[in-house]
Amino acid sequence: MVSISLSPHPVDTTRIRAAIQALQPDLVAWRRQLHQKPELGFREQLTAAFIAQKLEAWGIEHQTGIAQTGVVAVIQGDRPGAVLGIRADMDALPIQEENDVPYKSQHDGMMHACGHDGHVTIALGTAYYLSQHRDFAGTVKIIFQPAEEGPGGAKPMIEAGVLNHPDVDAIVGLHLWNNLPLGMVGVRSGALMAAVELFNCTILGKGGHGAIPQQTIDSIVVASQVVTALQTIVARNVDPLESAVVTVGKFNAGTAHNVIAATAQMSGTVRYFNPQFDGYFEQRIKQVVSGICQSYGADYKLEYYSLYPPVINDERMANLVRSVAETVIESPIGIVPQCQTMGGEDMSFFLQEVPGCYFFLGSANADKDLAYPHHHPRFNFDETALGMGVEIFARCVEQYCH
């Protein structure tokens, strides 16, 4: 049999769409099953078993137990070619669900409040579709990743070799996105999401009587100066044309109105898009804290962690996703390039290794009361987006593996 490869591959709109529309009831059923059994990061045993059982039933080659609970499926096309990775995160959040739906979470205090149940479903739907339609050149590797919400499953999966044997040439991934209505897709080349860094700082002063301050070093006064001075890093050190955030989200000190607190504790987060800031905020925060402490005679302890790098999309892959998404949503005005967020995602580790594109698939529908934000106890999304996600991934394969 002779296969002819054209670029771009001719698009048979009706065939893919019909197959995926037929799959829609299954997608909804799988998503609702997953939604009832949310699991936290690195404890996604039921989720992994659900995925493996489906892949097994469909005769799809797969491996389980990667980075504890990760699963990787490999689907070969009917001729050799490039290797495309598709990544889906699997974990839920420690939130008590407040939705009153028949498929409500059955796990107390845990909820799929970010839509990762939908991501697993879309990846499964794509696996099923591709296993039934192997007329593509190359290989698709579907990566089901644990612990996106923390502490991060992407890095350990990469270290376990998921991008090798066969080597992944490019990668795509999506997030269902209630900041966009159903029918819109947020995609752009370059930075999409921010780097995430975390710091814990303890100011070590000297406690004493609230009426005798001269015998003390007031940690609350010192820490308050620190909080104020930290605001100047973004305001006065960062180029105004760049984006960055320094937030002190936690501040604890003191025990009584008439006692000067010996210690004050703060925690905060730092966000930025430009990878050139790697290490910069850690250094500046240290300078600010140490300088202020020195001037008041206080001491300090500072812990600083770089959690996720920024999510940076490859231009070519972003163009591919954009053109595919236009076909799926049938509207170029539904493509939103102004979709950057200072939120973070460990998809960034995959994008550091291979060119790729992460994008937002609009999933809010206010008419159906499906517009609560992510991580809200009433978060839910329009399940019509599930089929759209499968279609976008299937068309990415059609365009990339040809």
Residues taking part in catalysis: 91, 148
At residue 273, the 3 state secondary structure works out as coil
CA 2 vs CA 40, 135, 268: distances in Å:
48, 12, 60
Residue 328 near Ni ion by CB under 5 A: no
CA 103 vs CA 52, 100, 265, 331, 375: distances in Å:
21, 8, 41, 32, 18
- For 64, phi then psi, to 5°, come to -110, 175
Residue 120 near Ni ion by CB under 5 A: no
Q: How far is the CB of 402 from Ni ion (least distance, A)?
A: 31
Segment lying near Ni ion (by CB under 5 A), choices 113-121, 137-145, 165-173, 376-384: 113-121
- For 210, phi then psi, to 5°, come to -65, -20
CA 281 vs CA 162, 228, 271, 301, 346: distances in Å:
32, 15, 9, 16, 20
Type of residue numbered 292: I
DSSP β-ladder status, 208-209 and 259-260: antiparallel
CA 339 vs CA 177, 186, 218, 346: distances in Å:
10, 5, 44, 18
Residue 114 near Ni ion by CB under 5 A: yes
In the bound state with Ni ion, the residue whose beta carbon lies nearer, of 60 and 71, is 71
In the bound state with Ni ion, the residue whose beta carbon lies nearer, of 23 and 364, is 364
Q: How far is the CB of 375 from Ni ion (least distance, A)?
A: 8
State the number of binding residues for Ni ion (CB under 5 A). Answer: 1
Q: How far is the CB of 43 from Ni ion (least distance, A)?
A: 17
Q: How far is the CB of 71 from Ni ion (least distance, A)?
A: 18
Burial of residue 126, with CB atoms counted within 10 A of its CB: 0-12 exposed, 13-18 middle, 19 or more buried: buried
In the bound state with Ni ion, the residue whose beta carbon lies nearer, of 77 and 118, is 118
Segment lying near Ni ion (by CB under 5 A), choices 41-49, 100-108, 112-120, 127-135: 112-120
Q: How far is the CB of 86 from Ni ion (least distance, A)?
A: 16
In the bound state with Ni ion, the residue whose beta carbon lies nearer, of 66 and 113, is 113
Q: How far is the CB of 149 from Ni ion (least distance, A)?
A: 7
Please check whether residue 392 is in contact with residue 131, taking contact to mean a CB–CB distance below 8 angstroms. Answer: no
Segment lying near Ni ion (by CB under 5 A), choices 18-26, 106-114, 222-230, 254-262: 106-114
In the bound state with Ni ion, the residue whose beta carbon lies nearer, of 34 and 114, is 114
In the bound state with Ni ion, the residue whose beta carbon lies nearer, of 175 and 284, is 175
In terms of Cα–Cα distance, which of 305, 247, 309 is closest to 278? Answer: 309
Segment lying near Ni ion (by CB under 5 A), choices 78-86, 109-117, 123-131, 264-272: 109-117
Residue 318 near Ni ion by CB under 5 A: no
CA 327 vs CA 135, 181, 353: distances in Å:
20, 17, 28
Binding-site ranges for Ni ion (CB under 5 A): 114
